[in-house]
Structure 1
């Protein structure tokens, strides 16, 4: 069990923890707590639950994920990705159904960690992740139009197309004050960074806008007019479970678990790149699971690792899980002592914050770059995107994964019919004759979503020890967008380490994908060579100039 569950906090404290790092973690934790405040409230409201449920989630889940997690800097809490699922579950099964689904999802996540599935969740294809993330972003944007425009719609349809129909039919009831507040919030959130980077834009927007609305007595809806008072206490509340209906919650719980697992591990991988660390994926999944089992008992909603808050933590000097603990304590103190003022926040201000969140989530650049890639990746991207927007995220993930597997089988069948084209051959009898400072890595087989992470982590470790890295690609029959995405990240990383990358023996069809996705622009055109002997020659030339 020790190797499966080994929290980073324990490792950090065992290694010795300095006062200097503690002061940095405290500062980062307070900043992240302030960043999390408007987001926690906004995510809860957009999910169709009361605002304090978002705060409770950020406090309880944030604390558990930091104390038990496998990442040094991961910040846990409610995230935008869950808005669509939570809203759907609340509409169908009510609040008790949401609590049961979340707790069941927690059990699934613990099981994923114990079964060592942490590494498997990294094999989700890049187009699938971009497809459902962009789809969720569009759905979040759509749900915020009512409050952003101040429309008076009593019963807003749940589905995407009827929702827009309802907006257009009620367009005459636009509240110009609400529109002004939404626009002002968006502008403050985006541009406040030019004035100060220490205080988050969304927090400044909430303080300034709420104060103006109260002073000028503007006629707009607030959290209080929709939800009433925000409780100052955290209460224990067990859901009423009807065991005969438990099967109804398996599908939504599995969606929460899969999405939570993918998002938390994605966030951990991103933060690893920022601090040069290595997270423990199975420990992280178990911690996420415990958080999702415990948080609903206190009235919370699903939680996972939050990429934006984790990045904020790193940028402000947080380097250990202590920063995450401080973030949870900061939010608890705000809830206890300033909660009564949070009810005055205008709904249109929260809508403005969520529109910015939706834009940042949309990954439109990745979306566009995948549309320039292979037909297989485009199909996975579009099917996942449209199912997320028009049908349901549960189906989007299930069908997306099944489609990815089928298309991979089709690709492999196509490759097996191709005649073997040997485009590269060894001139040297072995690699020992190479000059010092030259690293070599040969990729054999398709460079696709299931192998990309493994290939790239090995490339990174070899490349960082070398002045020149030759990547041999003679046995790579195809590369998909996950492979391209990971290879691009590695090449950029090695450039920062001042390592020259040379590609050798790239097949024409693979080279075409590299060119189409502008990956060749990261390399000197002279560094993509048809044979290994030319690559070695180029490496020697390069070394002589260093």
Structure 2
């Protein structure tokens, strides 16, 4: 198969699907409101992320404009919003410190090519196999790194050349603690308090922008002695640079290959995680390999304009959905609104105080930490999952992000094999979700014939662990008609881990949104114990547990007969 044929087969942006379905004025109105809402959130965030990464704020805006537009236009998700993200902060900072900014541009360009190749090779499907404790430990570790990177501006310290590594960074900051600026800390804490307060009292208010605007006004009005974008960077240009190919030579490309692989890996993982979150909120399905190709093109374009690495941003994507986005046009308009700010009002960015941006990123780090999920997994998950969580977290903070992922995957695989060693009755290759009509006995087939109208049954065979949990993702999409009651038989599932429970929870939420009552039958003791510890409990009218299939069938009849299930046509 030629490269052109492979691209045509595996690259089909959701934007083309939307236009093929018909794009209406009502869609444009909804997407315009969502795009403006996300742009308001992204404006201060893009500058803050760039400053935290060791770059100037203009590169953050440039990345959000160029890469943000292309990620939406060429990606595999209807509502994905892309741009610079917190996960890249330690990576970018280290690359700039080691290879200079031009080295970052080359590494980003190479990463874009790697992502395009990964999409063409359908690697996007393989990225779904990361276990949930590994992802949680990884993101929590990045959150700690982001917080540490903001200590300089939070405390107003006067220090140059802060190391990229966690412990050396803390040592240098401690050595310069005598330059502490109380005004900087007070301003940052005020911004944090304002953002948190607005989220509770007025959730629809753009807390990030309000905090930055008020902080900028306070600094200008009262002459507070803190650093601003203007004093440190000289402001933000009011135009975009022309694209240019960086100077390339083989030796430097080889030296930058590890950095490029790290950027590509992070961009791929975070974009697909964001797309999965978007699927969970909208009930739609993204195209993972198209998403990787779109991310690759966007990162290549960002590099040509001198921008930063970019990926799908979970918080901005969620904001986009809540604001009513319907199509990728919303993400494209978010980039257009940011461009309008750069062209018309870039001078205002000079007044933004850096402690305010640091306060903003403290909130980002807290949200990114998944502290609730971290504590929940640490308290309730099996010991192997706890080990993966803590090891990934520690290596991310103290060693290296790539090493953390590699070691975490190896430990997760060994932990799984240790679990499987005690299940001698389970043979290899039975991790299948299949229609109950292929059941083991005539009894199963007879039971299926007795199903009342509006009831569907599927069965899981084998352990539901991180390598097989994603098979539940598109289970509802396989149904020709949407049922009122969906029975999931789990009597042949001897083992469930945290990722398996996470997938069951996601399935339950999708059923709830579609007006389907989920009934899980025949759960064995270990899966039931893990599910309860991780919070998967019965919710009348939404999620029920039955001891066996006959009990599940009786429950389904009672639910449909008593009218507890809503008619799908009226949902």
Which residue of the partner structure matches residue 131 of structure 1? 137
Q: CA deviation at 1:198?
A: 5.0
Which residue of the partner structure matches residue 483 of structure 2? 466
Which residue of the partner structure matches residue 153 of structure 2? 147
Query: TM-score, normalising length from structure 1?
Result: 0.94
Conserved 8 A contact 2:90-2:146 = yes
Which residue of the partner structure matches residue 252 of structure 1? 259
Which residue of the partner structure matches residue 176 of structure 1? 182
Q: Structure 1 pair 447/204, CA: closer, same or farther in 2 (3 Å)?
A: same
Report which stretch shifted further, 502-511 or 489-498. 489-498
Which residue of the partner structure matches residue 265 of structure 1? 272
Q: 1:534 aligns with which of 545, 551, 567?
A: 551
Q: CA deviation at 1:120?
A: 1.6
Q: 2:245 aligns with which of 238, 260, 274?
A: 238
Q: CA deviation at 1:177?
A: 0.8
Q: CA deviation at 1:317?
A: 1.9
Conserved 8 A contact 2:280-2:506 = no
Q: CA deviation at 1:405?
A: 2.8
Conserved 8 A contact 2:72-2:332 = yes
Q: In structure 2, the residue corresponding to 1:440 is in which secondary structure?
A: strand
Which residue of the partner structure matches residue 395 of structure 1? 403
Q: Deviations over 1:283-305 (max 9, x none)?
A: 11111000111111111010011
Which residue of the partner structure matches residue 315 of structure 1? 322
Q: 2:509 aligns with which of 482, 488, 492?
A: 492
Q: Deviations over 1:452-506 (max 9, x none)?
A: 1222421576598222222211221211111111111222332344433322222
Which residue of the partner structure matches residue 436 of structure 2? none
2:463 pairs with 1:455? no
Q: 1:7 aligns with which of 9, 13, 16?
A: 13
Q: In structure 1, the residue corresponding to 2:247 is in which secondary structure?
A: coil
Mapped to 2, the partners of 1:419 and 1:10 lie a distance apart of 44
Q: CA deviation at 1:54?
A: 0.6
Q: Structure 1 pair 463/360, CA: closer, same or farther in 2 (3 Å)?
A: farther
Q: CA deviation at 1:160?
A: 1.6
Which residue of the partner structure matches residue 104 of structure 2? 98
Q: Deviations over 1:37-96 (max 9, x none)?
A: 101100100001111111110011011112211111111110111111111111121112
**Superposition pairs for residues 289-328 of structure 1, below 5 Å?**
289-328=296-335
Aligned residues: 543
**Superposition pairs for residues 48-447 of structure 1, below 5 Å?**
48-193=54-199, 196-235=202-241, 236-371=243-378, 372-416=380-424, 427=443, 429-430=445-446, 431-447=448-464
RMSD: 2.4
Conserved 8 A contact 2:212-2:356 = yes
For structure 2, the 5+ residue unaligned runs are: 1-6, 429-439, 564-571
Q: Structure 1 pair 40/307, CA: closer, same or farther in 2 (3 Å)?
A: same
Report which stretch shifted further, 151-160 or 283-292. 151-160
2:493 pairs with 1:476? yes
Conserved 8 A contact 1:65-1:288 = yes
Q: Structure 1 pair 198/373, CA: closer, same or farther in 2 (3 Å)?
A: closer
2:26 pairs with 1:20? yes
2:39 pairs with 1:33? yes
Mapped to 2, the partners of 1:136 and 1:476 lie a distance apart of 35
Mapped to 2, the partners of 1:190 and 1:525 lie a distance apart of 32
Q: Structure 1 pair 443/97, CA: closer, same or farther in 2 (3 Å)?
A: same
Q: Structure 1 pair 463/83, CA: closer, same or farther in 2 (3 Å)?
A: farther
Q: Deviations over 1:516-546 (max 9, x none)?
A: 2121354799943333223323333333322
Mapped to 2, the partners of 1:205 and 1:106 lie a distance apart of 34
